[in-house]
């Protein structure tokens, strides 16, 4: 039986975000256009003509994970995204573990994407003779400017930030898809028998490419962070999670097929390219649209920055309202009704990794890869916990679908565990070999913080993950003495 929860949103614009805007949050968090630009080349390097098939398999695995998240999101909604959802299954400690891993994920992806946005913005401006932002100091300056824009938009309005993110991403996708359609038709290879027959592709190569494919979906659950602000969150959020993943997957399969079919030299040539879209444009005499592509990539990376800040800020906002950190972080802007204090606090957290890595002389796109990889580890850990916890969640609610969710959860958890393993063994070349240790160190820091809170303020630690509403409160049980969905009073 549904209940109508009391409005304890902490001042957020409760139930104001439309279902379309909720979907936009997930799509922007995935940033499919950025993946389309570079993912197919990496996939083709290993899977050859089977690259599109590996993306399709990756999509099916992610849809399994999406279904486990959706099963919980139909019954629970909170600003903390997965952090809030998982509490009924694993209690406050499991909730914090998931939330901290997710926090590392969104901050890492935001920081890495900021470096990417700055790089492509500088390339776009170079087309007009403005080269001041190309060197490293200029890259840092333009990153500061872009971050300021992202902070302004995410504070101004959750609806504005999701609409801008969606608009940027959609425009970027449109440009890329149009270019791909043009070169595919011009290639005369619209129907590519080699790809349909998986000519030359090996099982091992395609399996490893699935690992890369799954990484391209990271962030698909971004809509779950709008649990306080979404209209009809118990329907809008599950749908957005599933549809966002499906939409991205279809785009990935098409883009990979088109790039392999159109690229001169086929899959081998594509796999050897360091900038596939630019090379495709050059091969087919479309160099004049390269500035538009650079602008599109800038827009896509900016959409990711804003979407990740949106998620991270609501995690911090939840922690502030639950008493895990200072109540200042749990204050919303009085007029815009966004977690402004949390967003202000996050700005330097997002910027510092970018500045440090660029300051070390690392190229911007390499910086994106390194920082994003640490973030991806956080996402994957959070997803694995959710896949394991979803069946327990359903069992405690007395809901149907425990068996099917258990099967899907196992598929998702085992697949993600394999992805994690494949990123560590065999040990990659430096500096990629050090990235797992950065992630582990960050996890230890967060868990040590929670242990201190649990020792010094056990009542605050027990509230972890509780800043949420339940659609079936009467049916749910929790692992602490506090009723699920109750909010801490500050």
CATH number at residue 195: 1.20.1740.10
How much of the chain, in percent, has pLDDT values that exceed 70? 94
In the chain, the number of structural domains is 1
In a domain, 481, yes or no: no
Q: Which pTM does this prediction carry?
A: 0.92
On the question of pLDDT at 490 being above 70, the answer is no
pLDDT score, position 283 = 96
pLDDT score, position 37 = 86
pLDDT score, position 472 = 52
For residue range 259-298, list pLDDT tens digits in order: 999 999 999 999 999 889 989 999 999 989 989 999 999 9
In a domain, 415, yes or no: yes
Q: Mean pLDDT for the chain?
A: 92
In a domain, 6, yes or no: no
On the question of pLDDT at 23 being above 90, the answer is yes
On the question of pLDDT at 257 being above 60, the answer is yes
For residue range 89-100, list pLDDT tens digits in order: 999 999 999 999
For residue range 422-447, list pLDDT tens digits in order: 888 889 899 999 999 999 999 999 99
Domain holding 368, by residue range, is 21-475
In a domain, 287, yes or no: yes
pLDDT score, position 477 = 39
On the question of pLDDT at 392 being above 60, the answer is yes
In a domain, 33, yes or no: yes
pLDDT score, position 214 = 94
pLDDT score, position 424 = 87
On the question of pLDDT at 11 being above 60, the answer is yes
In a domain, 483, yes or no: no
Q: Do the beta carbons of residue 382 and residue 395 sit within 8 Å?
A: no
In a domain, 231, yes or no: yes
* Across 415-420, average pLDDT: 92
Residue with tokens 């790089």: 119
On the question of pLDDT at 413 being above 60, the answer is yes
In a domain, 313, yes or no: yes
On the question of pLDDT at 6 being above 60, the answer is no
């Amino acid at each position: 039986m549904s209940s109508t929860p009391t409005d304890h949103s902490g001042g957020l614009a409760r139930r104001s975000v439309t279902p379309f805007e909720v979907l936009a949050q997930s799509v922007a968090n995935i940033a499919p256009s950025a993946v389309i630009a570079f993912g197919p080349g990496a996939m083709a390097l290993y899977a050859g003509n089977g690259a599109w098939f590996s993306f399709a398999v990756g999509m099916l695995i992610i849809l399994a994970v999406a279904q486990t998240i959706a099963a919980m999101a139909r019954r629970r909604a909170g600003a903390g995204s997965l952090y809030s959802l998982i509490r009924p299954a694993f209690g406050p400690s499991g909730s914090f573990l998931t939330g901290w891993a997710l926090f590392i994920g969104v901050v890492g992806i935001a920081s890495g994407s900021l470096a990417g946005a700055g790089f492509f913005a500088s390339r776009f401006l170079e087309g007009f003779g403005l080269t001041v932002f190309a060197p490293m100091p200029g890259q840092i300056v333009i990153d500061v400017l872009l971050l300021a824009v992202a902070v302004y938009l995410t504070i101004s309005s959750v609806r504005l930030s999701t609409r801008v993110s969606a608009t940027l991403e959609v425009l970027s996708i449109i440009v890329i898809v149009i270019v791909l359609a043009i070169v595919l038709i011009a290639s005369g290879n619209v129907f590519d028998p080699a790809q349909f027959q998986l000519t030359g592709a090996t099982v091992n190569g395609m399996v490893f490419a699935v690992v890369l494919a799954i990484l391209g979906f990271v962030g698909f659950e971004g809509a779950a962070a709008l649990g306080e602000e979404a209209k009809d969150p118990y329907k809008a959020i599950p749908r957005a999670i599933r549809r966002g993943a499906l939409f991205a997957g279809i785009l990935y399969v098409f883009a990979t097929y088109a790039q392999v079919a159109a690229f001169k030299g086929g899959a081998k040539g594509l796999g050897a390219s360091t900038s596939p879209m630019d090379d495709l444009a050059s091969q087919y005499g479309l160099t004049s649209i390269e500035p538009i592509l650079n602008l599109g990539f800038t827009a896509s990376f900016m959409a990711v920055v804003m979407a990740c800040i949106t998620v991270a800020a609501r995690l911090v906002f939840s922690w502030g309202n639950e008493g895990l950190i200072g109540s200042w972080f749990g204050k919303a802007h009085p007029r815009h009704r966004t977690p402004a204090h949390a967003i202000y606090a996050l700005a330097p957290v997002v910027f510092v990794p970018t500045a440090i890595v660029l300051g070390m002389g690392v190229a911007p796109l390499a910086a994106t890869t390194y920082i994003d990889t640490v973030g991806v580890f956080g996402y994957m850990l959070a997803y694995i916990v959710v896949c394991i916890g979803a069946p327990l969640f359903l069992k405690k609610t007395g809901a149907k679908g425990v068996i099917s969710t258990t099967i899907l959860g196992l598929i998702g958890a085992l697949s993600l565990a394999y992805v994690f393993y494949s990123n560590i063994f065999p040990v990659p070349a430096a500096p990629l070999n050090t990235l797992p240790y950065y992630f582990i160190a960050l996890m230890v820091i967060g868990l040590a913080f929670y242990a201190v809170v649990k020792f010094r303020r056990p009542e605050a630690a027990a509230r972890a993950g509780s800043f949420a509403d339940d659609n079936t409160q009467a049916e749910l049980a929790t692992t602490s003495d506090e009723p699920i969905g109750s909010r801490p009073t500050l």
